[in-house]
Amino acid sequence: MGAAVALEMAASGGFAGPVVLLGVSLSPRDEPAFFRAIVGLGGVLGSLPAAVMARGASAMVRQIAVSAERQNELRNDFRKNVPQHVMPALREYVRWLYRYERPAERLCRAGVPTWIVHAEKGDGRLTVEERRVLMACPNARLVTIPGTVFFLPNQVPKQIADIIVEAVGS
């Protein structure tokens, strides 16, 4: 969701950049149906879906190739999330995804130097049209991390650090 805020700032002209968007979704179609269903169920079940999602994310941490100590740190971070606070933020995020018809074009028109980083599978999906627009955009750099990656900064920290250094140096 932090990427949504950065994207909004860049696309609205409120930030000159450079900006690095990690695992960003630009439209509802980019988010998995499971995620959209969890958010939709929040309207009926309150914060319970957010609690289920946090448990699922915590369980996914076991699949990350980091030390057991780092896995414990990440699980503890997920436990700090308060479902009653997370659910409204998730609903607002999904509302934001529906806000603009062509977000990739909007981002390109803003002229802000932008790196869009996503995994081949896992975090940060893009539609075929969004990918086409971003690849043709002179101020955007689309970076695809090979393989399945759900926690970009934790699973591929050197690659993410290199991208940030490149963006800052531009």
**Any idea what the CATH number is for the domain that residue 12 is in?**
3.40.50
| Rounded-to-integer distance, Cα 16 and Cα 130, Å | 22
Looking at the DSSP bridge assignments, the partners of residue 115 are 20, 141
- Total domain count, the chain: 2
* Arithmetic mean of pLDDT, 92-111: 85
pLDDT per position as a tens digit, 34-55: 888 888 888 888 888 888 888 8
Domain limits for position 59: 31-97
- Give the pLDDT confidence of 9-42 residue by residue, as tens digits: 777 777 777 989 888 888 887 787 888 888 888 8
Same domain, yes or no, for 116 and 91?
A: no
Same domain, 92 and 42: yes
CB 38 within 8 A of CB 49: yes
User: Same domain for 114 and 74?
Assistant: no
pLDDT exceeds 90 at position 168: yes
User: Is 115 in the same domain as 57?
Assistant: no
- Any residues with CB less than 8 A from the CB of 131 and at least 6 apart, and which? 142
Q: Is the pTM of this model over 0.85?
A: no
